[in-house]
């Protein structure tokens, strides 16, 4: 069966050498079959497969030959399996056989070697640990110093805040100067209204006119007052 494809996919496959020359490639679809899970095809629905006639003699002979072959192969496999097991047990090809005394001596030698290695490694380890301990001590000292500096800075910052607050506390309105503060506020009413012209000039006050008595309110008269009032209200 043939299926036409564009060259893009075909070029990725193995038939590149055959098909890359033509823009319209042909791909051979070989293993095309109905998947097992699909139902019987409509065209095959009422098909009754014919039962093949078997020659009884031939069948008996084939059965005998088949059984014979299976028996031979089974016996041979068992023999080879046992042979391999036996060889594994008895062979000395892949390892050296030692007498018990030799084994003992070999073991003692191994132990001694292990001991020397252990000692060598212990010396190295102690040196390393000593170094590490010193390094750790230095690190801890540095960190303690850094913590002390940090704490001092923090205390300084706190002192600063307290000093500033104390400064400010002088302007606070208390019970004693409440009356004078009220009187002062009534005597100096603050007008926060302003208007703005196209040039961006600001005219402070509700009734100020451009070119009038207020003029552009950059004179700062009200500004200082506003400032004072804000501070007082704090």
| Residues in touch with other proteins (CB under 8 A) | 48-49, 51, 57-58, 60-61, 63-65, 68, 71-72, 74-79
Q: CB-wise, 71 or 190, nearer to other proteins?
A: 71
Residue 213's SS3 state is coil
In whole angstroms, the minimum distance from the beta carbon of 49 to other proteins comes to: 7
In whole angstroms, the minimum distance from the beta carbon of 34 to other proteins comes to: 20
Helix (H) or strand (E) holding 196: strand 194-196
In whole angstroms, the minimum distance from the beta carbon of 97 to other proteins comes to: 22
Q: CB-wise, 48 or 111, nearer to other proteins?
A: 48
- From residue 97, give the alpha-carbon distance in Å to each of 101, 112, 187: 12, 22, 119
Q: CB-wise, 53 or 179, nearer to other proteins?
A: 53
Q: Specify whether the CB–CB gap between 20 and 11 falls below 8 A.
A: yes
Q: CB-wise, 60 or 209, nearer to other proteins?
A: 60
Alpha helical stretches, state H, the chain: 7-12, 16-19, 56-90, 100-169, 178-187, 221-233
In whole angstroms, the minimum distance from the beta carbon of 90 to other proteins comes to: 14
């Amino acid at each position: 069966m043939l299926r036409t494809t564009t060259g893009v996919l075909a070029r990725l496959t193995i038939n590149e050498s055959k098909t890359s020359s033509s823009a319209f490639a042909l791909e051979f679809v070989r293993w095309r079959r109905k998947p097992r899970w699909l139902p019987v095809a409509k065209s095959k629905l009422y098909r009754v497969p014919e039962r093949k006639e078997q020659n009884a003699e031939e069948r008996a002979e084939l059965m005998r030959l088949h059984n014979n072959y299976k028996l031979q192969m089974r016996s041979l496999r068992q023999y080879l399996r046992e042979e391999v097991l036996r060889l594994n047990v008895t062979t000395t090809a892949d390892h050296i056989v030692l007498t018990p005394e030799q084994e003992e001596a070999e073991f003692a030698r191994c132990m001694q070697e292990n001991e020397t290695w252990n000692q060598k490694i212990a010396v190295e380890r102690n040196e390393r640990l000593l170094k590490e301990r010193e390094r750790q001590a230095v690190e801890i000292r540095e960190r303690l110093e850094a913590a002390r500096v940090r704490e001092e800075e923090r205390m300084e910052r706190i002192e600063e805040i307290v000093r500033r607050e104390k400064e400010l506390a002088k302007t606070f309105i208390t019970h004693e100067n409440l009356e004078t503060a009220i009187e002062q506020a009534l005597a100096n009413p603050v007008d926060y209204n302003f208007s703005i012209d196209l040039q961006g000039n600001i005219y402070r006050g509700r009734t100020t006119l451009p070119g009038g008595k207020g003029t552009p309110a950059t004179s700062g008269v009200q500004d200082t007052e506003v400032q004072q009032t804000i501070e007082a209200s704090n």
